[in-house]
Amino acid sequence: MTDTRLPAELLFGTNLVAMVTPMRPDGSIDDAGRTDLVEHLLATGCDGIVVGGTTGESPTLTDAEAAELVRAVAGQAKGRARVIAGVGTYDTAASIRRARDAEAAGADALLLVCPYYSRPTQAGVVAHGTAVADATPLPVMLYDIPARTGVAMEAATLVELAAHPRIRAVKDAKGDLFEAMSVMSRTPLAYYCGIDELNLPYLACGATGVVSVVGNVVADRVAALIGAVRGGDLDEARSRQRSLLPLTEAVMRTAPGAVMAKAALAELGVIASASVRLPLIEAAPAHLERLRDALASMTVAA
């Protein structure tokens, strides 16, 4: 059983990747592609793999598919990276089921998004988070992404949830750096940047690590950025961030990240297909052209 009192970097890692779910053109999960992708992530310095999160197309995964993904990735990554299972839905009972399935499948931790679509009150957000955290002994990382959920986790809500012994971290995709610093100063919550464009400022403000979409492609370069900040070399960190800008823009500022990360991995030959499930569709030609230019620039800079 995981000791949830351990430092967050031991519970979750520091260089986390929001892993895509490789799929065949018919929409079925590509098991061989998943295996190859996990090896790629481990080889490039990822120490935490988020399975079945937004970038993994969680809304389209069945409960059985989500559990099997966790089981397969946890078995493959055991001892080499932490495996964090995305279990959040807009239904607390369903989230509890997914949390228990993830525990049984071997997950090291849980990622719990704020309930979406239902737009609960802040008291409802606290009740939801507490119920899921109570359901298993696994450490929990909250996921605050109001652009997708329609509801932000307010600072007071995060402070209240931080009192739960298993709620240990926040993946912050809100982008309010002042609020993040405020919550870090008032709670033991570890922050992880969930916006690739802002990895450097979050790390500089005290974030423990990142949960990166771009890391699917270049986890080694993200690791170098984290290392530079943790080593106190901000000039080097700025240089690392600048080198990532073309790829970050191509992946995060065109089509959805899941679409563009899959396209990049397919371009590199890590996975066989860039297929996604509806309502997502594959990258448009103009977006692919920008992506290829970005990948070429990364190769030249290597």
How many structural domains compose the chain? 1
Structural domain for 86, as ranges: 9-238
Q: Which amino acid is at 63?
A: D
Whether 256 is in a domain gets the answer no
Q: Are 252 and 213 in contact (CB under 8 A)?
A: yes
In a domain, 285, yes or no: no
Tokens of 154: 């307010």
Hey, which residues are catalytic here?
A: 143, 171
**Where are the extended beta strands (E) located within the chain?**
15-18, 48-51, 82-86, 109-113, 140-144, 167-172, 190-193, 209-212
Determine, yes or no, domain membership for 277.
Answer: no
**What CATH number did the domain enclosing 25 receive?**
3.20.20.70
Look at residue 280 and tell me if it is in a domain.
Answer: no
> What's the rounded Cα separation, in Å, for the pair 207 and 270?
30
Residue 188 in any domain: the answer is yes
CB of 114 closer than 8 Å to CB of 149: yes
Which neighbouring-strand residues pair with 84? 50, 109
pLDDT value at residue 4: 84
Q: Which residues of 200-237 are buried (b: 16+ CB within 10 A; e: fewer)?
A: bbbbebebbbbbbbbbbbbbebbbbbbbbbeeeeeeeb
Q: Write down the pLDDT at residue 300.
A: 57
Q: Which two tokens stand for residue 103?
A: 């525990």
Establish if 110 belongs to a structural domain. yes
Position 121 in a domain:
yes
Q: What is the pLDDT of residue 302?
A: 56
Task: Give yes or no for a contact between 153 and 130, defined as CB atoms under 8 angstroms apart.
Answer: no
Question: pLDDT tens per residue, the chain (302 residues)?
Answer: 678 889 999 999 999 999 999 999 999 999 999 999 999 999 999 999 999 999 999 999 999 999 999 999 999 999 999 999 999 999 999 999 999 999 999 999 999 999 999 999 999 999 999 999 999 999 999 999 999 999 999 999 999 999 999 999 999 999 999 999 999 999 999 999 999 999 999 999 999 999 999 999 999 999 999 999 999 999 999 999 999 999 999 999 999 999 999 999 999 999 999 999 999 999 999 999 999 999 998 875 55
How far apart are alpha carbons 74 and 226 in whole angstroms? 24
Query: Is 249 a domain residue?
Result: no
